[in-house]
Structure 1
Amino acid sequence: MANDNAVQQAAEQIARAREDKTLRPSIAGFFDEATNTVSYVVHDPKTNEAAIIDSVLDYEAASGRTSYGSADLIVEYVTSNNLKVSWLIETHAHADHISAAPYLQEKFGGKLAIGREIVRVQEVFGKLFNAGTDFERDGSQFDKLFEDGETFRLGEIEGIALHVPGHTPADMAFIIGDAAFVGDTIFMPDFGTARADFPGGDARQLFRSIRRLLSLPKETRLFLCHDYKAPGRDEYAWETTVRQQREGNVHVKDGVTEDEFVEMRTARDKTLAMPNLIMPSVQVNIRGGRLPAPEDNGVSYIKIPVNAV
C-alpha cells in the first residue's frame, strides 16, 4: 500500500511544492477547545482560492441549541482576507462535533466534499438511527465524493485525496501542496493515534493507513484534526511532520509492528468512553452537516438510540 501510485503522486506533488514556494498553501488553524477540534482555512496566496476543512458548529447538548461562534471566526477570516471558497472539505463523518459546512456554504458557496466511502457510514448509521427510506444512503448530501488518488486544485496549487480508513471506513487525507490534512488518523507524536472501535473501524486498517501517510516525504507538514494535550504538555498543538511522527509517535513510530499496534490499539480502545456528542454529531454529519428534516411542528429532532450501542 505504501508504494502505490496515489502515494507516489502525492510525494511528487509535495516535492514540487518544496522546490517552488508559490505552490505552498497559506494555512490558518482555528481550535475549538470545547471539542478539541482544529478547523483549517487553506488558500493559494496567488489566487486567494480557499478550502475550509473540518469546520465546527457549536452545539449545546443539554439544551439542543446550535450557535455559530466557532464558524463565525472562519467567516471573519475568509472575509477579511478576501478569499474565494471553492471547497468545504470533511475528512470523515465526525463523531465529536457537528459540521458547520452548510452554514459556511450558504455564506461563501463552494463544493461540499467528503470521501466516497461515506456511503458505508451512511448505511451503518442510517440503520442505527432508523432513518427510514427518506434518508438517501448514496452520498447525495455532498457535492463531491472523492476517490482514492483523485486530484483537485486550489487555485494554482495541486491537491490529491488519499483514502485512509481505520478510524472509520470513510476517512480521507487531503494533500494540498506540501501540506497533508490527515483528519483523525493520527495525533501529535506524544499523544499517538485515533481510536478504531467505532462501527466499521479497524485497527489493522488504521495502522496500514498511517504507514501509508508516513511513507510521504519526511518534510511533509501534517495538520491534525484534534489535540488533547498529552501528559506533561501545557499547550495545544496540531502541526507536525512525517519525520517527527516516524521518529517519535508513541503508538506507531518506526519499529512498531502491525500486530503490536493492533494489540495496543484494541486494548486501549476498550478503556475509552464514547465521545460526548457522538449521537448528534454522526446523525447530522452523515447528512452533510444538515439537521434532520423538521417534523410537522417545524422542529428538528435528534434521536438517541437506547441500549443499541
Structure 2
Amino acid sequence: MLTKISPSRGSGSPVVVGFYEPVSGSCQYLVIDPDTRASALIDVVQEFDVTAARSGTESADHALALVRDHEADLKLILDTHPHADHLTAGRLLAERTGCPHWIGEKCTDIAKIWTEIYHLPPQTLDPATLYDRLLADGEEFTLGRLPVKVMLSPGHTLGSITYVIGDAAFVHDTFMQPDAGTSRADFPGGSAAELWDSLQAILALPDETRIFVGHDYGTKTREEPAWESTVAQQKAENIHIGGGRSRAEYIALREKRDATLSLPKQMLHALQVNLRGGRLPEPEADGHRYFKIPANRF
C-alpha cells in the first residue's frame, strides 16, 4: 500500500503518515505527536467489493501496522464525515484497539436525510448512539501536546468537519490537490455555495499550514497519487478557485461539473454503514447481513 511520511516541522507540528487505498482513491492518515507519540487515525477505509458485497480489512490492518512501526500511542479514531465512496473502518479499529471513534455532530442531520431515503426506522441510523462522541464546530482538544481544533466544513456533505492538528489540516472532501481542484457537492444535503465558504475558511489558515486531502485520482499529467499541499499552494495553484475566480463563478463551475458525475459505486452501500459508525447491517433471523438499496431514487 502506497505510504508516505510528512515529517514534523518542529514544536506543534505532527508527523503525518499518509497511505492510499486505490479502489476508492482514498487518502488515509496516521497523525503522531512527536513529543509524546500520542496518535490518531483519520478516515481509514474498510475495503468493499461491490460485486460480491464483501468487506475487507486491508487498510485497517495496514493502519495498525503503521501504529506499531512508528511506536505510536494510538488515542483516537477520527472520521471527517459519513463517506459516500467507501466504508469506514472506524468501528473495526475502535473494537480492535479500545480507542474511541469520533465524528462531527451534524452527522445526525445527514442521518435524517438517509433514514428517509432508505426507509429505515429512525434508530437504525443514529450517530448519537453509534459513535463515541460527536464534535461541535469550534471544539478544541489535544492529541498529546498538539492542539486540535474542529472546523465545520459543509458543502460536500452538510456535516463534514476539518481537523486542524498543529500545523496540519485534514480537509477531507473540500480541496483536492491543486492540479485537481475541489470535491463534488451534489449529494443530498450538499451545496456548492457552502463548499465555497468552507474552502475560503480553510484558506484563512496560515499560508504554511499543510493541507491533507481526502481523495486523489491522479490527473491526465500525473499518475502517482498525492495528498499533501499547503494553504499557499492552494491559493496560488488550485484550478477551481485560482485566478481570482468569484464565488458565483465557482458555484456555476462546480454545479456544471457535478451534473456530469455518476454516483460513486459504493455510495448506496456505504452510507447505511457509515452512519452506523462503520457497522454492517445487523444479522437477520438466518444469521446473515443484508444491505437495503433504494430503487429509482437517483
TM-score range (shorter-chain normalised) is over 0.9
Measured after TM superposition, the shift of residue 200 of structure 1 is: 0.3
Shift of 1:139: 2.3
Tell me the residue number matched to 2:253: 264
Equivalent position SS for 2:236: helix
CA distance in 2, matches of 1:197, 1:95: 11
Residue 5 of structure 2 is matched in structure 1 by none
SS in structure 1 of the partner of residue 142 of structure 2? strand
Q: Which amino acid aligns with 2:260?
A: T
| Deviations 1:34-76, CA, capped at 9 Å, x for gaps | 1100110001122111110000011111111111112111111
Letter in 1 for 2:30: V
Deviation at 1:254, TM superposition (A): 5.4
Report the identity percentage: 38
Aligned letter for 2:96?
K
Count residues with an aligned counterpart. Answer: 291
* Alpha-carbon distance in 2 for matches of 1:283, 1:138: 11
Report the structure, 1 or 2, having the larger strand content: 2
Within the candidate set 128, 133, 149, 1:160 is matched to: 149
- Equivalent residue of 2:169, what SS? strand
Please state if 1:71 is matched with 2:53.
Answer: no
Distance, in Å, in 2 between the alignment partners of 1:77 and 1:137 is: 31
Gaps of 5+ in 2: 1-7
Question: Do the aligned partners of 1:126 and 1:137 also contact (CA within 8 Å) in 2?
Answer: no
| Alignment match, 1:12 | none
> Is 1:56 aligned to 2:39, yes or no?
no
Question: Residues 158-181 of structure 1: CA distance to partner in whole angstroms, max 9, x if unpaired?
Answer: 110000100100110000010000
Question: Could you tell me how far apart the structure 1 residues matched to 2:75 and 2:241 are?
Answer: 34
Q: Structure 2: how far apart are the matches of 1:289 and 1:255? A: 40
CA distances 1:193-212 after superposition (whole Å, capped 9, x unpaired): 11110000000000010001
- Amino acid of the structure 2 residue aligned with 1:189: P
Report the counterpart of residue 4 of structure 2 in structure 1.
Answer: none
**CA contact under 8 A between 2:126 and 2:276: conserved in structure 1?**
no
Range moving further from structure 2, 228-237 or 163-172: 228-237
Q: CA deviation at 1:82?
A: 2.8
Moved over 3 A (4+): none
The structure 2 residue matched to 1:115, chosen from 81, 104, 115, is 104
Give the match's secondary structure for 2:147.
Answer: strand
Residue of structure 2 in register with 1:230 after alignment: 219
2:291 is aligned with 1:302: yes
TM-score by length of 1: 0.91
The answer (yes or no) to whether the contact 2:125–2:275 under 8 Å persists in 1 is no
On the 8 A contact 1:84/1:108 being kept in 2, the answer is no
Q: CA deviation at 1:78?
A: 0.9
Partner of 1:29: 18
Structure-2 separation of matches of 1:241 and 1:181: 11
2:125/2:272 contact within 8 Å kept = no
Alignment RMSD, CA only? 1.3
Question: How far does the alpha carbon of each residue in 1:91-126 deviate from its partner, in whole angstroms, 9 at most, with x for none?
Answer: 110000000111111222222111110011100001
* Residue 275 (1) aligns with residue 273 (2): no
